[in-house]
Structure 1
Amino acid sequence: MPTTTTESRVRTGVLAAVSYVAFFLASLVLPGLLGHNRGASIVTPYSTNSEVAAYLAATSHGGLPIAAFCQAVSGLALLVFAGWSAAYLHRLGREAHAALARSAGTAAAVFLLLSASIQWILSLPGITDNLAVYRAVTDLSFSTGAAVQIATTGLLTAAVSTGARGLPKWLAWFGLGVAALSVLSMLSLLAKGFSPFLPIGRYLGMAWFLGLAVFLPRRAGRYPANR
């Protein structure tokens, strides 16, 4: 029974980690595959009004509900992972790590869900008629789903990397590096020059999630079934 319980817990963590990555990537890829983006580059708070207007003229907003839905599911998966990782770290007696994983992971998931909800608003009729309104909503969606979301996800990564047992040392150190780069993405709120930290922190973080999903089942026997 303990082994079965442990394996079930590990499967939950693996599924949550993989779903978080898969659905977020789907939110980026599917609109392009369906022809809604038409190859246009995304706009950011640092884009000029003319760049935003050109983006609106070149794209169709039919894919936004799909992107928002996939991103919302990704946020829910991250929320599940946050709860799972906090419970796991608690069973190991890593109370401080568990608290950080729960708080940072929950915050990251909420920011992602909020960004998805705001992104859905962009698909409503008439929202593109007023450039100023469209910019405000777009910037809000970007800001909630970018720097603060990436930084809080990085803190979740740090909590698991430093508190977990049985993980390969390279994966733990990789997680700490990802956490540092993710926190540095907050600098993008100060200047455009720090924007490269956003994709670096996000996608390296996703690589860490997938690495964790691979090694969790291999270390299942080392996890305590109950505490």
Structure 2
Amino acid sequence: MTDYSPRSRRPGGPPLGPLAIVTFALTLAGVGTLLAGTGSVPAPFAPAADVAAWYANHALPIRIAATLQLGAAVPLGILTASVYARQLRLGVRVPGPVIGLYGGITASILLAVSALVTWALASAPAPGGVASTLGVLAFALGGVGYAVGLGLLIAGVAVPAFILRLMPRWFALAGLVIAACGELSFLSLVLDPLQVLLPLVRFGGGLWLIAAAFLLPRDRPRRDPRLAGGERS
């Protein structure tokens, strides 16, 4: 017999696991292309002449890496919206899902803008001062801004999962640690040593989201009323 209950008609949305994997794979491909094609990446606040020369001498791999980075931003946004819908389906009625939605969409947009700025720098040679300024902007958007947004997305998933036991608690706690690193990474704008948090959040957070995408249940199990009545008797 076909089930026509409202619960059965609610769409499940796209599968979370493949979205998380595609996002992380494109991220790795972009970083790998950049490192393989250029050999090194200048520090965010390197001399303007060095930054301009780096973009001019490695235009093709930088454009390819920027294209892959832009590609990673798209499934990240879809993943964020799908996770939010899944949490609502699970009956999560706390601020966490909205915080995660805000963080994930912010991370997706900032990553896309950073990629376009980087692509433009590699496509049209700019004077040293301009290239340096835009390079710092790309770093701030796709590095710090992305890490802060991704941290909020992870926190928005991890906190409700910890409280409602939607995932193993140790795993949710690991997500909270990564999320905290993401939020603290904004201090790297003035404290250079804290820039080490950026790759931790980007890659550690990406791996955590893949696992979370497979662990997050589609539905919360409903207690059998007969069992509940038996417990009261």
Structure 2 residue runs of 5 or longer lacking an equivalent are: 223-233
Structure 1 counterpart of 2:99: 100
In 1, are the aligned partners of 2:102 and 2:152 still within 8 Å (CA)?
Answer: no
**TM-score, length-normalised on structure 1?**
0.83
Looking at structure 2, the residues matched to 25 and 4 of structure 1 have their Cα atoms a distance apart, in angstroms, of 37
The CA deviation at 1:222 is 4.2
Structure 2 counterpart of 1:68: 66
In 2, are the aligned partners of 1:154 and 1:179 still within 8 Å (CA)?
Answer: yes
Looking at structure 2, the residues matched to 193 and 125 of structure 1 have their Cα atoms a distance apart, in angstroms, of 32
Same amino acid, percent of matched pairs? 27
In 1, are the aligned partners of 2:100 and 2:153 still within 8 Å (CA)?
Answer: yes
| CA-atom RMSD in angstroms | 2.5
Classify 1:46/1:125 alpha carbon distance in 2 versus 1 (closer, same or farther; 3 Å): closer
The CA deviation at 1:105 is 1.1
Of the three residues 72, 75, 78, the one matched with 1:77 is: 75
Classify 1:191/1:31 alpha carbon distance in 2 versus 1 (closer, same or farther; 3 Å): closer
CA deviation map 1:146-172 (0-9, x unaligned): 112101110110110112353122211
Looking at structure 2, the residues matched to 20 and 61 of structure 1 have their Cα atoms a distance apart, in angstroms, of 24
In 2, are the aligned partners of 1:20 and 1:77 still within 8 Å (CA)?
Answer: yes
Structure showing greater radius of gyration is 2
Q: How does 1:39-54 map to 2 (within 5 A)?
A: 39=39, 41-49=40-48, 51-52=50-51
Classify 1:223/1:136 alpha carbon distance in 2 versus 1 (closer, same or farther; 3 Å): farther
Looking at structure 2, the residues matched to 125 and 148 of structure 1 have their Cα atoms a distance apart, in angstroms, of 25
Structure 2 counterpart of 1:26: 29
Task: Say yes or no: does 1:123 pair with 2:89.
Answer: no
3-state DSSP of counterpart to 2:41? coil
Structure 2 counterpart of 1:194: 194
Classify 1:69/1:55 alpha carbon distance in 2 versus 1 (closer, same or farther; 3 Å): closer
**TM-score, length-normalised on structure 2?**
0.81
Looking at structure 2, the residues matched to 126 and 183 of structure 1 have their Cα atoms a distance apart, in angstroms, of 34
**Letter matched to residue 109 of structure 1:** S
The CA deviation at 1:14 is 1.3
Structure 1 counterpart of 2:179: 179
Structure 1 residue runs of 5 or longer lacking an equivalent are: none
Instruction: Work out the number of aligned pairs and report it.
Output: 213
Classify 1:213/1:4 alpha carbon distance in 2 versus 1 (closer, same or farther; 3 Å): farther
Classify 1:153/1:28 alpha carbon distance in 2 versus 1 (closer, same or farther; 3 Å): same
3-state DSSP of counterpart to 2:95? helix
In 1, are the aligned partners of 2:52 and 2:131 still within 8 Å (CA)?
Answer: no
In 2, are the aligned partners of 1:111 and 1:145 still within 8 Å (CA)?
Answer: yes
Structure 2 counterpart of 1:15: 18
The CA deviation at 1:115 is 0.5
The CA deviation at 1:123 is 2.1
